[in-house]
Amino acid sequence: MILIDGKKIASELRDDLKKEVSELKKKFNKVPGLTVILIGDLTPSQIYVRNKEKSANEVGLKSEVIKYPDNVEEKIVLNKIKELNKDDTVSGILVQLPLPKHIDKQKVIETITPDKDVDGFHPMNVGNLSSGYDSSVPCTPLGCYLLIKKIEPNLSGKKAVVVGRSNLNGKPMAQLLLKENCTVTITHSKTSDLKGECLKGDIIVAAVGIPELVKGDWVKKNAIVIDVGINKTEKGIVGDVDFDEVSKVAKALTPVPGGVGPMTIACLLKNTIECFKRNEVSVD
Ligand code: NAP
């Protein structure tokens, strides 16, 4: 069984991105910039944002974090986003989720110009992805996609089963696999025979949030299994896949932690660079 080492693959991706940033600097005499807006003092969000900033700096991006207190007015945040939309030193804008209740998440997402939407959440990017056009793609499914391609470069004709249909993970994941000519099944909490559906998959991506939901006898021999889940349990952090059982049948499997997680931030950096390139080429 191949243990898919997300840490190593993410580190290789960051090395490539670092080289690309230095070439872009030579060509355009500026570097891509990532601005993150952080509202409130929720500890996990603070940790995510700190890691994003650190990784951005490591690959040579210009990075900035704008912090607001929990009770900031919505219009202050929206006006700041509008200002950043016009700032040509900013290639990518990310508003760290979750937001306080009084701030409308969808309004925030739709205020970020699609050209700088490094999270790929803007309806324009969602539409472009589902139409098979060039777009920003949400970072976690993009990371999963790159891991799958490392194991199996030609996905055409494969059966893929995506467990979970969130806008963040399941749906964009399914679109990416469809674009690669997989036959894709999207499953969810109302799916009547989840085990039966999973058993058909040459590829399974589990993004559910239920500890060790996917069992060994749900998985076809030699399937590629990607575990997006991050669940805190008494025995520590576990994924949505029963690692011990599934590792006995799968051809390749991501561990939790150390699988998908490290790819998410690396893909955020990749998306920032892609936004920069699209924006610079469009003003050429
Ligand atoms: P989410 O928005 O809560 O969506 C969960 C999905 O799972 C929903 O579509 C839900 O179906 C489905 N589901 C729930 N119970 C199910 C069941 N018994 N059988 C089949 N499907 C079921 O979650 P998310 O944001 O996509 O996150 C999923 C997991 O990924 C979480 O553990 C999260 O912490 C983790 N995550 C990891 C990363 C990373 O970087 N590794 C990034 C983001 C999230 P319905 O639509 O029918 O409700």
**What tens digit of pLDDT does each residue of 106-164 get?**
999 999 999 999 999 999 999 999 999 999 999 999 999 999 999 999 999 999 999 99
**What tens digit of pLDDT does each residue of 2-54 get?**
999 999 999 999 999 999 999 999 999 999 999 999 999 989 999 999 999 99
Q: With left for phi above 0 and alpha for psi between -120 and 50, is residue 39 left, alpha or beta?
A: beta
User: What tokens were used for 27?
Assistant: 């060509």
3-state DSSP call for residue 175? helix
Q: Is the CB of 224 under 6 A from ligand 1?
A: no
Give 198's pLDDT tier (boundaries 50, 70, 90): very high
Cα angle 61, 65, 69 (rounded to 5 degrees) comes to 170
The residue type at 95: V
What is the per-residue pLDDT for 283? 62
Q: Which residues of 168-177 are buried (b: 16+ CB within 10 A; e: fewer)?
A: bbbbbbbbbb
Other CB atoms within a 10 A radius of the CB of residue 106 amount to 9
CA dist 190 to 10, 159, 180, 184, 205, Å? 34, 20, 26, 17, 17
Q: Is the CB of 188 under 6 A from ligand 1?
A: yes
Instruction: Kindly give the distance from the C-alpha atom of residue 128 to the centroid of ligand 1, in angstroms, as a whole number.
Output: 23
pTM over 0.95: yes
Instruction: Kindly give the distance from the C-alpha atom of residue 12 to the centroid of ligand 1, in angstroms, as a whole number.
Output: 28
Q: Ligand 1 pocket check: which of 168, 188, 195, 215 to mutate, most ligand atoms within 8 Å of Cβ? A: 188
Tokens 């969130």 sit on residue: 166
- Could you give the domains of the chain? 28-114 (3.40.50.10860), 139-261 (3.40.50.720)
Q: Provide the edge-to-edge strand list for the sheet that holds 33-39.
A: 62-68, 33-39, 92-95
Residue owning the nearest CA to atom 31 of ligand 1:
209
Atom of ligand 1 nearest to the CA of 169: 26
Q: Is the CB of 261 under 6 A from ligand 1?
A: yes
Structural contact between residues 226 and 249, judged by C-beta atoms closer than 8 angstroms: no
Residues classed as catalytic? 52, 96, 119
Instruction: Kindly give the distance from the C-alpha atom of residue 212 to the centroid of ligand 1, in angstroms, as a whole number.
Output: 12
Q: Is the CB of 247 under 6 A from ligand 1?
A: no
